[in-house]
Amino acid sequence: MISDPDVVGLLYLVTIACFVVSLKFLASPRHARKGNWVGGVGMLIAIATTLLLDGIGNWVWIVIGLVVGSVVGVVGARNVRMTAMPQMVAIFNGVGGGAAALVALSEWHNATGPVWDETVSIALSALIGSISFAGSIVAFAKLQELLSGRPIVFPAQNIVNIVVLVGAAALGVAAVAGVEDQWVLYTLIGLALLFGVMFVLPIGGADMPVVISLLNAFTGLAASATGFVLDSTVLIVSGMLVGAAGTLLTLLMAKAMNRSVASVIFGAFGQVQTGAGTARADDGRTVRATTAEDVAVQLSFARKVIVVPGYGMAVAQAQHDVRQLADVLEERGIEVKYAIHPVAGRMPGHMNVLLAEASVPYTQLFEMDDINPEFPQTDVALVIGANDVTNPAARSDPGSPIYGMPILDVDKAASIVVLKRSMRPGFAGIDNELYLDSKATMLFGDAKESVLKLVSAVKAS
Amino acid sequence: MTDLPLVIELTILVLAAFLGFEVIAKVPTMLHTPLMSGANFIHGIIIVGAILVLGTADDTFTKVIGFAALVLATANVVGGWFVTDRMLGMFKRRPEPKRDSKEPGQ
């Protein structure tokens, strides 16, 4: 048993240092995995220290809780497919937020008297934690396609949301002002859960990278607020580190879409812009369909090919086949690179994870700013299931809802081949002018089947 | 735990925010998912709160709430760590020897 508060504090300080080093390492490809281990050691120290504190009892329940939680965590983490990673991240986010809200609830239940700063922390932790929990569950349901990935909207949605949020906040203020009834916090949590559900419902699939990062930040902040209630610096600092990381990612994602975070949350993209930025198909240009054999010939005679993956590749689980195609091309001496848009897919860095799973070396993956100057020297740009992030209207058409969004300059390549399921517009609900480009041809069909056909056609040619 | 003055705690909070921004300011796109997943694991530190609640609970209500919090927080910690490790294990600098055309599990 540890009873000396200085020893306890020092052990928690080691944990904090481990977490900071862990985050630092996670930001560099060479050390990332080591970083996760350092974080793991820090966490074990914190858990062991807490278990050894004076006055900790209820051992049976603690052990059962640890075992049950571990089994759920390991089974979930081990079995999830890489394509399901966004929903996995969402759900682990949610459980953290839920835990923070429950800790706040029990602290409220056992509060001995009104201490205003503790009550503020309890209210904040319950509020943010509940929003994060409910929001993450809805995000999970959307990504898992239990709910439609399209925005779900109803009239006066933003007003209703604001009323709910203000109601929850008002209850928090009431609690701080001295209303000590249990129902205050129950109702607050209920309203916060409702808000969490309603604020994610109208957000569509392509905006998920922003939302997931934001929920991540929320859970961190909720944990940090709990630290104030429990007077625990390790919670305050660790929670805030995550809050900062999540906020930074949220801003990065929003910037990559040239939208403000507020417009993502309140905008219900694809809903507001009707008739804007429609491709002018009546100017005589038409979409040209092609066959796998023709594309194979094009690829075989190319010197340089850039693959542009998007969410369509994830849906079709085509990443392994894409890598196979790249291998076949490289065997013929053709240079193959991958162009990754920051918001391609459903979470930050989604494409990188999928391609890493398919053992594509990360030295072949290039960020937007690094690869864009190379498109003019590229013979074939192979767009696999990406849409809005390649739409030249973002550069040229001020009327387009995605105008100003940084895009991959696919249209500057000598020729463009687009693998696409159908002519259905992308998430933003607008047509892609790229498809009308005289250099562009379309290979329709499921991304996986199309790529497999390409592999055998290239081998045969 | 020692009762720190509120101002000290707020100071720590604000410094931690700046530290967080600085430490991950220039993370490449490639590592966005592992970073998020790693941060996800770190907010599992709420497990400390859950243990404190459950470990000092006297009444049934607190025990139930604390137990639920502990299960959620443990799932957060363990799941977050394993997912991150699995993901990072896949990131490779050089191509590995060619495998057969069919990947497992497909």
Number of domains in chain A: 3
Say whether both A237 and A306 belong to one domain. Answer: no
Say if residue A185's pLDDT is above 50: yes
A366 — phi, psi (to 5°)?
-125, 140
Beta-carbon-side half-sphere exposure of residue A35 (alpha carbons within 13 Å) = 28
Q: Which residues of B touch A37 (CB under 8 A)?
A: 85
Of residues B31, B68, B90, nearest to A357 (C-beta): B90
Q: Is B94 helix (H, G, I), strand (E, B) or coil?
A: coil
Least confident of A126-130, A167-171, A401-405: A401-405
Across the interface, whether the CB atoms of B78 and A74 are under 8 A apart is answered yes
CA-to-CA distance for B50 and B41, rounded, in angstroms?
15
pLDDT band at A448 (very low <50, low <70, confident <90, very high): very high
- Confirm whether A274 is domain-assigned: no
Give A365's strand partners.
A338
Question: What is the least distance, in Å, from the CA of B97 to any CA of chain A?
Answer: 10
Measured between alpha carbons, how far is residue B8 from residues A10, A114, A118, A232, B46 in Å? 17, 21, 14, 12, 21
Are A208 and A164 found together in one domain?
A: yes
How far apart (Å, rounded) are the C-alpha atoms in residues A86 and A163? 30
* Same domain membership, residue A314 and residue A246: no
Could you say which of A77, A109, A235 has the minimum Cβ distance to residue B79?
A77
Q: Which residues of A are annotated as catalytic?
A: 388
Say if the Cβ atoms of A69 and B74 lie within 8 Å.
Answer: yes
Asked if B75 and A63 count as a contact pair (C-beta separation under 8 A), the reply is no
Check whether A272 has a pLDDT greater than 50: no
**A-contacting residues in B 56-95 (Cβ below 8 Å):** 56-57, 61-63, 65-95
Smallest Cα–Cα separation from A309: which of A362, A373, A256, A383?
A383
CA angle A108, B79, A2 (to 5 degrees): 55
Three-state SS for A305? strand
Question: Which candidate from A27, A231, A363 shows the least CB-CB separation from B2?
Answer: A231
Rounded Cα distance between A52 and A44, Å, is 12
The predicted structure's pLDDT at residue B28: 84
Q: Are A420 and A448 in contact (CB under 8 A)?
A: no
Answer with the residue of higher pLDDT: A138 or B2.
Answer: A138
Q: Which residues of B touch A232 (CB under 8 A)?
A: 1, 48-49, 52
A320: chain B residues, CB-CB within 8 Å: 103, 106
DSSP state of A399: T
Q: Given pLDDT bands bounded at 50, 70 and 90, which one contains residue A84?
A: confident
Report pLDDT for A283. 56
pLDDT at residue A307 greater than cutoff 90: yes
Q: How far is B68 from chain A (nearest CA, A)?
A: 7
Q: Is B41 in Cβ contact with A36 (below 8 Å)?
A: yes
Query: Which residue in A1, A11, A36 has the most chain B C-beta atoms within 10 A of its own C-beta, making it the best mutation to test that interface?
Result: A36
Q: What is the pLDDT of residue A393?
A: 87
- Count of CA atoms in the C-beta half-sphere (13 A) of A342: 22
| Boundary of a domain, candidates A61, A79, A97 | A79
Quick one: pLDDT band at residue A378, thresholds 50, 70, 90?
very high
What value of ipTM does the predicted structure carry? 0.89
Going by pLDDT thresholds of 50, 70 and 90, the confidence category of residue A268 is low
User: What's residue B99's pLDDT?
Assistant: 46
- Check whether residue A75 and residue A91 sit in a common domain: no
Interface check for B96 against chain A (CB to CB < 8 A): the answer is yes
Residue A269 clears pLDDT 70, i.e. is over it: no
Best of A12, A95, A118 to disrupt the B interface (most B CBs within 10 Å) is: A95
pLDDT over threshold 80, residue A265: no
User: Counting beta carbons within 10 angstroms of the beta carbon of residue A59, is it exposed (0 to 12), middle (13 to 18) or buried (19 or more)?
Assistant: exposed
Model confidence at A23, pLDDT cuts 50, 70, 90, reads: very high
Which of the 8 DSSP states describes residue A111? -
Residues of B in contact with A216 (CB under 8 A): 36, 39-40, 43
pLDDT in tens, A157-170: 888 888 999 999 99
Beta bridge partners of A443: A419
Q: Which residues in chain A are closer than 8 Å to B73, comparing Cβ atoms?
A: 69, 95-96, 99
Place of tokens 């009892």: A57
For the entire predicted model, the pTM comes to: 0.87
Query: Which residues on A lie below 8 Å from B44 (Cβ)?
Result: 43, 96
Nearest CB to A249; choose among B17, B32, B88:
B32
What Cα–Cα distance (Å) separates residue A269 from each residue in A138, A231, A274, A430? 17, 42, 11, 11
pLDDT in tens, A410-441: 999 999 999 988 776 666 667 788 888 889 99
Cβ <8 Å between B20 and A243: yes
Pairing of β A380-384 and β A335-340: unpaired
Query: Best interface-test mutation with A: which of B10, B19, B24, B29 has the largest number of A CBs within 10 A?
Result: B29
Tell me, what's the pLDDT at B94? 66
Smallest CA–CA distance from B76 into chain A, residue? A92
A286 or A47, greater pLDDT: A47
Domain with residue A448: its CATH number is: 3.40.50.1220
How large a percentage of chain A has pLDDT more than 90?
59
Exposure string of B24-54, with b = 16+ CB inside 10 Å and e = fewer, is beebbbbbbbbbbbbbbbbbbbbbbbbbbbb
Beta strand A335-340 pairing with A365-367 = parallel
In DSSP terms, which residues pair with A352 in a beta bridge?
none
Per-residue pLDDT of chain B (106 residues; tens, 9 = 90+): 557 889 999 999 999 999 999 998 878 888 888 999 999 999 999 999 999 999 999 999 999 999 999 999 999 999 999 999 998 988 877 655 544 444 444 3
- The reply to whether A291 and A321 lie within a common domain is yes
Provide, rounded to the nearest whole percent, the portion of chain A with pLDDT above 70. Answer: 94
Nearest by CB: B65 against A102, A248, A353: A102
B37 DSSP β-pair partners = none
Q: What is the mean pLDDT of chain A?
A: 88
Q: What is the pLDDT of residues A248-262, one digit of tens each?
A: 999 988 888 888 888
pLDDT of res. A266: 75
Give me the half-sphere count of Cα atoms (radius 13 Å) on the Cβ side of residue A233. Answer: 27
Task: Give me the amino acid identity at A161.
Answer: N
Mark whether A249 and A345 lie in a shared domain.
no
What mean pLDDT comes out for the span A66-88? 91
Q: What are phi and psi of A77, to 5 degrees?
A: -70, -35
- Is A329 domain-assigned? yes
C-alpha span between A188 and A193 (Å, rounded): 9
pLDDT category at A349 given cuts 50, 70, 90 is: confident
Structural domain spans, chain B? 46-92
Residues A196 and A306 in one domain: no
For position A271, what pLDDT does the model report?
Answer: 44
Give a yes or no: residue A276 inside a domain: no
Q: Looking at CA atoms only, how far is residue B8 from chain A in angstroms?
A: 10
Predicted pLDDT of residue A425: 66
Looking at residues A63-71, what average pLDDT do you find? 97
- Is residue A69 domain-shared with residue A99, that is, in the same domain? no
Q: How many CA atoms lie within 13 A of B56 on its CB side?
A: 16
Nearest Cα of chain A lies from the Cα of B105 at a distance, in angstroms, of 9
Residue-level pLDDT at A36: 95
> Could you tell me if A56 and A142 lie in one domain?
no
* Residue A157, domain extent: 85-267
Closest CA–CA distance from residue A85 to any residue of chain B (Å) = 8
